[in-house]
Amino acid sequence: MNKSTFIVSQMDCPSEEQMIRMKLESYAQVKYLDFDIPNRKLEVYHLEGNEEIKASISELKLGDKFMGTEEAEPPVIEDQSKQKTILWWVLGINFGFFIIEMTTGWISSSMGLIADSLDMLADSIVYALSLFAVGGAISRKKKVAKFSGYFQIALATLGFAEVLRRFFTSSETPMFEWMIIVSILALLGNLISLWLINKAKSKEAHMQASAIFTSNDIIVNGGVILAGVLVYFLDSKWPDLVIGGIVFTFVMRGAIRILKLSK
């Protein structure tokens, strides 16, 4: 067994991990992939040569650098059942708050809540793709990623258009009470998700990446709460539009990453 090590500078979340997994899953010589996302490191345990592996990773254009190959035994694989249970809970929390925030966002006229709901949807898609990633299902997984990516881009584009419309026209001030209350609930949901992920004490890359994703969501939740407070004190729609525009940018970036999974 050989181990080829790569430094992948742009591998900072589950999207890039899934891109690499989907690219290498079809190679019979690849036996195990060990991701260290915080350190941007990938170790590929494989048989035979590594030229195809190196070429495939380079095609993703994630800033990869080949560090060398050595003989090694693959690490002991952790029990996946507990991890899958936790990821199902995290997926459920994210998708549930996508529905809640999207609904209350339209009711309260808050672009911040709507944008945050799409951010939750983006996370749900990545977690779902991770859970459904099973050998022979790679072609179906790519179709789901492609549909999800374009769907998310369409929603984010509509969101941007609505932000611009409200920016240049007279529109009502959002209901700050809904913004603050729903965002606090979403924040609690993400804190529970982070607690569940950390409770697993897993060194697996997808679990570490999930912790990073959830931590970023907590920051976004805090931004929407702050926008709600500013809407109250300033009696203005501008804080909501600003935070909505910023989060829609994150959503668009996430959608582009998801589209890359379908290639």
Q: What's the pLDDT tens digit per position in 234-255?
A: 999 999 999 999 988 887 877 7
Find all residues with CB under 8 Å of 233, minimum gap 6, and list them. Answer: none
Question: Model confidence over 128-169: pLDDT tens digits?
Answer: 776 765 444 556 666 766 777 788 788 888 888 888 988 888
Higher-scoring residue by pLDDT: 205, 62: 62
Radius of gyration (C-alpha) of the chain in whole angstroms: 20
Distance, first Cα to last Cα, the chain? 29
Q: Which range, of 15-24, 59-68, 213-222, averages the lowest pLDDT?
A: 15-24
Sketch out the chain's domains with CATH numbers: 2-71 (3.30.70.100), 80-262 (no CATH)
Mean of the per-residue pLDDT values of the chain: 83
Q: Is residue 248 within 8 Å of residue 118, measured between CB atoms? A: yes
Helices assigned H by DSSP within the chain: 14-24, 51-59, 80-108, 111-131, 138-168, 176-200, 205-234, 238-261
How high is the pLDDT of residue 225?
95
Q: Which residues pair with 5 in a beta bridge?
A: 43, 68
**Per-residue pLDDT band at 125 (split at 50, 70, 90):** confident
How high is the pLDDT of residue 77?
61
Question: pTM higher than 0.75 for the full model?
Answer: no
How high is the pLDDT of residue 87?
81
